[in-house]
Amino acid sequence: MNKSRASAPAKVILFGEHFVVYGNPAILASINRRIVVDARTIDENRILIKSNIGVAGEYSSLGFKATEGGMEAKTTLDPLYCAAMQVLVARSKKTGIKIAISSGVPPGIGLGSSAAACVSTVAAVNSLFQKKYSRQKICKLAIESERLIHKNSSGADCYVSTFGGLMHYSKTKGFKKIQAKGRLALVIASTGVRHSTGDIVAGVKKFKDRNESLFQSLAKQAAGICVQAQSAIASGRPDELGALMNENQMILRQIGVSHYKVDDLLDICSKAGALGAKITGAGGGGAVIALAASNQDRGKIASRAEGAGYESFEVEIDRKGLVV
């Protein structure tokens, strides 16, 4: 029996969500909340997958059988089964595998949990065998698996989870690392409202189709904010960065992806001393990210959000990416 372990970080979108779909730039970062995958070979010709988020099942020649979580289990686990099978097929291996997933990332709120799970599953299963794949190869296989959930995914979530750090991304120019001056003291707070990224992206497209000139104007503003934000990160100007987050949020509100619980959280963060705060990810609920001036202020913001009944946690930028 061979055993292996891999972990990959969650991510936040600091700037540019939604508009990135239409060619605009975005700034993403991996954070120090991880998904850990343990894999081992087993004698039976089955793939068993169990996650601590309450889903489990087995894949065999008879198809899929949920052992925990009902039919939701299949939707959640199919990309991970695909991730494991891609490695087995690529390596011409026929063996059973047992996969255990331990997630420190709340699902369905825009933190890239599905991407981190795909990256760590590909890496863990791959590590059961002698010759290791490059990070680029692991990322490619993870993107293909994640597209079972997010059909039109750009691959950005998998990329930042694999390589870690702060990234500038656009469809035309791809990825470029951003070197930050100083640390970013960040808080993530969940509205508790899970969303369908696909539905929200479709809603934004409807908005664009009905308001083309307004959308193009907002897209231009969002692109300008990304340029300024990259400069503020590189030169260590957190006050300016916070103001840009607030500007970005105003644009996201205009395209209809905010939510009354998002607005409540933004108000709480602002009153607790946040330099800026905005939706991170698709919106429609999900999570809010806030920037604090110091670690002490960060703790105060997180405490105020929790006191109002919202799950929140303090985060740092993760520099390591995938760890095997």
H or E element, residue 272: none
Could you say which of 122, 143, 178 is where a domain stops? 178
What's the pLDDT at 105? 87
What's the pLDDT at 314? 95
Task: Indicate the SS3 state at residue 3.
Answer: strand
User: CA-to-CA distance for 231 and 185, rounded, in angstroms?
Assistant: 17
What's the pLDDT at 261? 95
Residue 78 is among the residues annotated as catalytic for this protein: no
Q: Provide the residue type at 308 as one letter.
A: A
Q: Quote the tokens at residue 27.
A: 């700034």
CATH number for the domain that contains residue 135: 3.30.230.10
Q: Name residue, tokens 């539905």.
A: 199
Query: Is 172 part of any domain?
Result: yes
Query: Is 320 part of any domain?
Result: no
The reply to whether 233 and 155 lie within a common domain is: no
What's the pLDDT at 150? 67
User: CA-to-CA distance for 249 and 82, rounded, in angstroms?
Assistant: 36
Cα-Cα end-to-end distance for the chain? 18
CATH number for the domain that contains residue 311: 3.30.70.890
What's the pLDDT at 131? 76
Query: Is 324 part of any domain?
Result: no
The reply to whether 307 and 203 lie within a common domain is: yes
The reply to whether 138 and 231 lie within a common domain is: no
Q: Name residue, tokens 């997933």.
A: 101
* Domain boundaries, position 115: 3-178
The reply to whether 46 and 158 lie within a common domain is: yes
The reply to whether 163 and 146 lie within a common domain is: yes
* Total tally of structural domains belonging to the chain: 2
Query: Is 263 part of any domain?
Result: yes
What's the pLDDT at 237? 96
Could you say which of 113, 143, 178 is where a domain stops? 178
Could you say which of 135, 151, 178 is where a domain stops? 178
Task: Indicate the SS3 state at residue 187.
Answer: strand
Let me know if 271 is exposed, middle or buried by CB neighbors in 10 A (0-12, 13-18, 19+): exposed
H or E element, residue 115: helix 113-126
CB atoms within 10 A of CB 183: 12
Query: Is 321 part of any domain?
Result: no
Strands (E), the chain: 3-15, 26-42, 47-51, 55-60, 63-68, 96-103, 166-170, 174-178, 185-190, 276-280, 287-292, 312-315
Nearest by Cα to 128 from 5, 248, 44, 244: 5
Please state the φ and ψ torsions of residue 186, each to the nearest 5 degrees. Answer: -115, 150
The reply to whether 237 and 295 lie within a common domain is: yes
The reply to whether 93 and 24 lie within a common domain is: yes
The reply to whether 243 and 272 lie within a common domain is: yes
User: CA-to-CA distance for 78 and 151, rounded, in angstroms?
Assistant: 13
pLDDT (tens digit, 0 to 9) for every residue of the chain, 324 residues total? 799 999 999 999 999 999 998 999 999 999 999 999 999 999 989 999 999 999 999 999 999 999 999 988 998 999 999 999 999 998 889 899 999 999 998 888 889 898 999 999 999 999 998 778 899 999 999 988 888 776 666 788 899 999 999 999 988 888 999 999 999 999 999 999 987 788 888 899 999 999 999 999 999 999 999 999 999 999 999 999 999 999 999 999 999 999 999 999 999 999 999 999 999 988 899 999 999 999 999 999 999 999 999 999 999 999 999 999
The reply to whether 114 and 197 lie within a common domain is: no
CB 258 within 8 A of CB 270: no
What's the pLDDT at 249? 97
Q: Which of 38, 157, 209, 239 is catalytic?
A: 157
- Using the CB atoms, write b or e for 140-150: b if 16+ within 10 Å: bbbbbbbbbbb
The reply to whether 171 and 189 lie within a common domain is: no
What's the pLDDT at 273? 96
What's the CA dihedral at 250, 259, 233, 181 to 10 degrees? Answer: 150
What's the pLDDT at 171? 85
The reply to whether 250 and 167 lie within a common domain is: no
Nearest by Cα to 58 from 77, 83, 76: 77
The reply to whether 164 and 269 lie within a common domain is: no
Work out whether strand 47-51 and strand 96-103 pair parallel, antiparallel, or are unpaired: parallel
Query: Is 323 part of any domain?
Result: no
CA 208 to chain centre: 24
